[in-house]
Amino acid sequence: MIDSYNRRINYLRISVTDLCNLRCRYCMPNKGIDKMSHSDVLTLEEIETIAKVFVELGVDKIRITGGEPLVRRGILGLIENIGNLEGVKDFAITTNAIMLKKYAKQLKDAGVNRVNISLDTLDEKKYEYITRGGQLKDTLDGIKEAQEVGLTPIKLNTVLIRGFNDDEIDDLVNLTNDGIDVRFIELMPIGEARNWAIHNFISNEYVLEKVENLEEIKRDDINSPANYYKLSGAKGKVGLINPISCKFCSNCNRVRLTSDGKLKLCLHSEEEIDLKTPIRNGEDIKTLIIDAISKKPKEHHLENGEYITRNMIAIGG
């Protein structure tokens, strides 16, 4: 599918739940989020049907996310079915890895190629703070298991947070010596945590200032939002994802499906297209999707303070 700005849209990110076993400060509000009624959540069959239509329309890259995707009951069956769709070339999952020790092998067997794991700190106490109660050891065990079963290359996603993990940049970058890719993501002002995010924002430029011997390397995927660098001799890469300090909208190839069946054409736009009702009414969603793609916005306007109200946990990062 080609949108009106000549971008090829071939990447669908599917959020399978807005529930999570952690409560990261930048992702969900302190009070938690209102539980969705069961009937508002897409069933696994509905998710699969929608994914199939997208694949028929040319999507060849799918990522399963959430909330925490591994807490959704029946997730392995869904993953297996989506992985088996003809036309899916790249199939990945984003997880906090808390349950990965248990699931890594099954995910690999079900056809997942790659896993992105969120990890903002290597310090137990800080991990507990930022996730509001999570245990670092669970995530580290999950990473180890993913490596052991060959769910590689592993990409760690680290949200850079002022006064929290800006003193750990070197330690995190050094993980690339073990063949892990580490990607620093700028903190985005999304949902109810937006004021917290604005207050704690720090530009990814800081990583380049801190780690002097990073060499920029050629990107192998022009649609990736990350600029990549390398420590000399390291097997893994350092990625910088700068949605705030540097837009990558002109190369955007993705759309998102939320767990309540809304198609989001841009992460930073309030506009959502309902796919759940039409699919439950037996309507043809193919035409609806093609029409929606033609309306994908040219770019976001975060620089003008246009921040969305839906919490990140309910979108799927």
Q: Residues in the site for ligand SF4, rule: CB under 6 A? A: 20, 22-24, 27-28, 66-68, 96, 118, 313
The 10 Å Cβ neighbour count of residue 69 is 27
Residue placing its CB nearer to ligand SAM in the complex, 194 or 276: 194
Beta bridge partners of 239: 183, 228
298 in helix, strand or coil? coil
Question: What is the distance of C-alpha 175 from the center of its chain?
Answer: 20
Q: Which of ligand SAM, ligand SF4, none does residue 28 bind to, with CB < 5 to 8 Å depending on kind?
A: ligand SF4
The 10 Å Cβ neighbour count of residue 51 is 21
Q: Which of ligand SAM, ligand SF4, none does residue 23 bind to, with CB < 5 to 8 Å depending on kind?
A: ligand SF4
| DSSP state letter for 52 | H
Residues whose CB falls within 8 Å of the CB of residue 71, separated by 6 or more in sequence, listed in order: 17, 19, 20, 21, 99
List, as one string, the DSSP characters of 62-112.
EEEESS-GGGSTTHHHHHHHHHTSTT--EEEEEE-STTHHHHHHHHHHTT-
Closest CB 21 distance from ligand SAM, rounded Å: 9
Closest CB 131 distance from ligand SF4, rounded Å: 6
Q: State both tokens at 32.
A: 């938690």
Residues 184 and 162 sit within 8 Å (Cβ to Cβ): no
Query: Distance between CA 263 and CA 274 in Å, rounded?
Result: 6
Closest CB 23 distance from ligand SF4, rounded Å: 5
Q: Looking at beta carbons, which residue is closest to ligand SAM?
A: 317
Binding site for ligand SAM (CB under 6 A): 20, 26-27, 65-66, 68, 94-96, 118, 157, 159, 185, 187-188, 190, 197, 312-313, 317
Mutual orientation of helices 100-109 and 136-149 as an angle, nearest 10°? 30
Query: Distance between CA 169 and CA 160 in Å, rounded?
Result: 9
Residues 272 and 297 sit within 8 Å (Cβ to Cβ): no
Residue placing its CB nearer to ligand SAM in the complex, 118 or 259: 118
Residue placing its CB nearer to ligand SF4 in the complex, 66 or 225: 66
Residue placing its CB nearer to ligand SAM in the complex, 53 or 197: 197
Q: Which of ligand SF4, ligand SAM, none does residue 139 bind to, with CB < 5 to 8 Å depending on kind?
A: none
Residues 258 and 272 sit within 8 Å (Cβ to Cβ): yes
Q: Which of ligand SF4, ligand SAM, none does residue 188 bind to, with CB < 5 to 8 Å depending on kind?
A: ligand SAM
Residue placing its CB nearer to ligand SF4 in the complex, 275 or 313: 313
Closest CB 22 distance from ligand SAM, rounded Å: 7
Residue placing its CB nearer to ligand SAM in the complex, 25 or 276: 25
Closest CB 68 distance from ligand SF4, rounded Å: 5
Sequence length of the chain is 317
Q: Which of ligand SF4, ligand SAM, none does residue 185 bind to, with CB < 5 to 8 Å depending on kind?
A: ligand SAM
Residue placing its CB nearer to ligand SF4 in the complex, 242 or 311: 311
Q: Which of ligand SF4, ligand SAM, none does residue 190 bind to, with CB < 5 to 8 Å depending on kind?
A: ligand SAM
Query: Distance between CA 26 and CA 227 in Å, rounded?
Result: 23
Query: Distance between CA 67 and CA 248 in Å, rounded?
Result: 24
Residue placing its CB nearer to ligand SF4 in the complex, 226 or 279: 226
Closest CB 201 distance from ligand SF4, rounded Å: 16
Closest CB 146 distance from ligand SAM, rounded Å: 13
